[in-house]
Amino acid sequence: MFEIFRRLWALNWAEQWQYRANLLMYLLFWLVSPIVYLAVWTTVAQSQGSVNGLTANDFAAYYMVLLVVDILTSQITIHVLAPEIQNGNLSNRLLLPVHPVLTQVLVNNIAFKALNLIALAPIWLALYLLFRPALNLSALHLALAVPALILAFGILFLLGSALTLVAFWTTRVWALWNFYSAVFMLFAGHFVPLALLPPVLQTIAKALPFSYTLHFPIQLILGKLGPQEMALNFGMQFVWLALAYVIFRVTWRAGVRQFSAVGA
């Protein structure tokens, strides 16, 4: 199994490396909205000292960490898998003795992530020098962030894959993805730290998986969480990982049965 992943990595890394110019464009797209929100909230915080106890520096630190966490936990499964389902190329992969999504698509996601991180590093440094947030990082919190980030990626990868599998039934999977993205942005803490959402929305955020995949790792790295909150959030991550896995398995089984490749 290790050998399979090693080969897949070599393949996918080469493939992603080939599209490095596209990757820079993708990065540009994806950087703009966090920087806009950073600017908006620091302006608000500066004009009145603080917002709900958060200073301009808190916002800058939050969004600077968000840039890294979001790359580490996000997934591009729909871009990889939906075309394969729609043009029928998935048939070839189904013949292989390994699960196509949990090997090929997974490794492709990780290769993309690795290249993105390399490209982000100089941009992040430049932004850091422009905004100069005071970051209080501790080795303990960074160490705890590692499992939190892995779990978060696991949850988002499985949910994103399950959503992509809807392409087995309908060609409208992109519209669904659009909707999912909007829900994600609001409830994951992409737009604003969750403490600033109205109480109703905060309650909804706690019931959805997204805050545990973005907001929790950020707050963990920033050292904003006590031991009890950490334990609770880790617990929720495990619950959501299990749930996401079940959702993914069920959709996959039903979807493959439904699948009839183009031309068949």
Partner 1 sequence: MNALRIIGAFLKLNVQVALAYRSEAVVQILLNLMWLGWELTSLAIIFANTNELGGWGPAELIALLGVWRLVNTMMSIIVWPNTEKFNQGLRDGSLDYTFLQPANSQFLVSITRVELWRLWDFVIAVVLIVAGLGMSGRVAAPANIATFLALTVSGAAVLYSLWIVMIAVTFWFTRFDNNVTILAALMDAGRFPAQVYPFWLRLLITFIIPIAVATTVPLQGLRGELAWWEVAGFLALGVAAVFLSSRLWKAGVRRYSGASS
Applying CB under 8 A, the residues found at the interface with partner 1 are: 21-22, 25, 28-29, 31-33, 35-36, 39-40, 43-44, 47-48, 51-52, 130-131, 172, 175, 178-179, 182, 185-186, 191-192, 196-198
Whole-number minimum distance, CB 70 to partner 1, in Å?
Answer: 15
* Spatial separation of the C-alpha atoms in residues 43 and 49, rounded to whole Å: 10
Task: Identify which of residues 193 and 255 has a Cβ nearer to partner 1 in the complex.
Answer: 193
Whole-number minimum distance, CB 33 to partner 1, in Å?
Answer: 5
Task: Identify which of residues 141 and 190 has a Cβ nearer to partner 1 in the complex.
Answer: 190
Cβ count within 10 A of residue 11: 14
Q: Is 210 helix (H, G, I), strand (E, B) or coil?
A: helix
Task: Identify which of residues 39 and 232 has a Cβ nearer to partner 1 in the complex.
Answer: 39
* Spatial separation of the C-alpha atoms in residues 78 and 84, rounded to whole Å: 10
Which residue in 203, 221, 222 sits closest to 211, CA to CA? 203
Whole-number minimum distance, CB 151 to partner 1, in Å?
Answer: 27
Whole-number minimum distance, CB 132 to partner 1, in Å?
Answer: 11
Residue 54, strand partner residues = 51
Whole-number minimum distance, CB 49 to partner 1, in Å?
Answer: 11
Task: Identify which of residues 51 and 244 has a Cβ nearer to partner 1 in the complex.
Answer: 51
Task: Identify which of residues 51 and 101 has a Cβ nearer to partner 1 in the complex.
Answer: 51
The two structure tokens encoding residue 110: 């990780």
**72 and 113 Cβ atoms separated by less than 8 Å:** yes
* Spatial separation of the C-alpha atoms in residues 114 and 76, rounded to whole Å: 13
